[in-house]
Amino acid sequence: MNMRYLNPWFRYVSVVVLLTFAVACQSSTETKENNLIVVGTNKLTNSDLAAAVVKYYEAENKKDWRATHNARTPEYRKLVPFDSYKKAMDKGMADWKLKKIEILEATQSQDGAITVKIRFHEEFGPQAAQIHFEGRVTRGMNTRIETTVWKHSDDGWFCANAGERGRIPEPLAN
């Protein structure tokens, strides 16, 4: 066999394999970075509630404010019109990203509402830092534990209180 023939072919195949691998790794990284990591859904004993919580925070992660507004209670949606909600969310969350949520515990109140304690892992840039941290930091990661409240109606589970992480103040909705 002629080695001069195999070397260019071997180099060509090697380059193609390496490029394919590099593209696959990049796609995998992008997909992983854009997906919200959710831990602890087993602490929510109601599967419909677990699905509603995950759907809400996945929409929040994608900055799908229509979906998050629709996932709020009907009372909230009556008091906070979508246009006002979207404007506030766009401003406060422009360079913000929800990376991971950990559901720590869930308790049911006498009225049937479920209180869900969640650890949020967020990444933020200068704009979100200025709004949420009053300029004390310029960018980075933040982890905090907050309590959220979910209520059930004939139409399913809705977020009654999403916590304080840079949202429109909840008293507007109560």
pLDDT of residue 168: 57
- The CATH code that applies to domain 36-173 is 3.10.450.50
Burial class (CB in 10 A: 0-12, 13-18, 19+), 107: exposed
Considering only the C-alpha atoms of the chain, give the largest distance between any 2 of them, rounded to a whole number of Å: 83
What are the boundaries of each domain within the chain?
Answer: 1-34, 36-173
pLDDT of residue 104: 97
pLDDT of residue 82: 94
H or E segment at 25? helix 3-34
* CA proximity to 132, closest of 98, 171, 93: 93
Q: In order along the chain (174 residues), what is the average pLDDT of each group of 10 residues?
A: 51 42 34 72 93 95 94 93 89 80 95 94 73 59 88 93 67 41
* CA proximity to 144, closest of 120, 111, 115: 120
Contact between 46 and 58 under an 8 Å Cβ cutoff? The reply is: no
pLDDT of residue 73: 94
pLDDT of residue 129: 61
